Amino acid sequence: MDTLGDPKHYMPDEARLAVIRDCISEYNAERPSILQKAYTQVAIYMGGFAVVAALMLFFTLHADEKHRLFGITAALSIFAGVKLWEYAWTPVTDHQLSLRYRLFPVIFGFIDKVQYSNGYAPGFLDDIKQMKLVRFTSSENDDLISGTHDGLAFDMVESKLIVGSGKNKSTVFKGLIFRFNIINEFPGVLIAARRGNWLQEFVHELFGSHNDTIASGDWEIDQTHEIHTDNYAAAKPLVEGPLVSALQYLKREWWAGEARIALRGGECFLLLPSDRDYFALPNIKDDVDFQADIEPMIRDMVVLLAVAHLIRKLG
């Protein structure tokens, strides 16, 4: 845990540096031709589509005197154009994603059994919904990294949690979601969630649904968080000591928003709100550079693991 304070400790050794540089060099060498191919493909596809769409609109405009079909045809043309544009850029997105699959297991080689995936919803999101740590109906997921570090087995995903659909869709959480093992199992469920608005508080008081809550004893934490448990006796000393300390630390260090924590048995769920893309690589128009792009990513991962190790010691 002491070495987590120095990200340089986890910088790749010479052997891994050579593999990283080979991956980057291969990508940078292929990048201009992939980009040019995409430009050509987009020009051909969209040019051809524009001609076809214009003919269809011209035909419906003159064939239907009441112009009932014109609006439908225009809407379908716009939808088809957007989908065609996305398809035309597929080689670019596939090429960038292939780099991540090749590169990330190497640069995060200090994590045992490290695995990387993209765009998948991890199963533990269902646990978060079940515990009502965040109320959401769907999710959009980006990078997912899992492995073990100094006894800390973890899964971490960049996720956006959404409630509603269509025009009524809104984001209720965006950031990093951790699931990891803790040293001492908690006999039950303990949740420190963001406190609701005044209306939710009124409903809680009206229907007496605060019976499972615990006051932390810290007025600043109690203003921002509501702590629930199904095991009051076990939770009270944990809440008034280590949990408050952890929330105070996160409040100081994690300025992007209120962190949320849930303990259940031997697992901890930690939600860290953020608008950052922690594992972003440059646009395909630019080369990837080790010092500018890869080193900061490693430092960010070390800091995130340090936070997880801190929370892991709860209890």
Taking only the tens place, the pLDDT of each residue in 227-279 is 888 888 888 888 888 888 888 888 877 777 788 889 999 999 999 988 888 88
Q: pTM for the whole thing?
A: 0.77
Distance CA 108, CA 147 (A): 10
For the chain, what are the domain ranges? 1-101, 108-315
142 and 148 in contact (C-beta within 8 Å)?
Answer: no
Question: What pLDDT score was predicted for residue 315?
Answer: 56
Helices in the chain by DSSP H: which ranges?
A: 14-63, 68-88, 90-107, 124-131, 198-207, 219-224, 232-238, 244-253, 295-312
pLDDT in tens, the chain (315 residues): 444 555 566 667 788 788 888 888 888 888 888 888 888 888 888 888 888 888 887 787 777 666 667 777 788 888 888 888 888 888 888 888 888 888 888 888 889 999 999 989 999 999 988 887 888 899 999 999 999 998 899 999 999 999 988 778 899 899 999 999 988 888 988 988 877 644 444 444 444 444 577 777 788 888 888 888 888 888 888 888 888 888 888 887 777 778 888 999 999 999 998 888 888 888 888 898 988 898 888 888 888 888 888 888 775
Residues 6+ apart with CB under 8 A from 112: 147, 148, 149
Question: Phi/psi of residue 218, each to 5°?
Answer: -110, 115
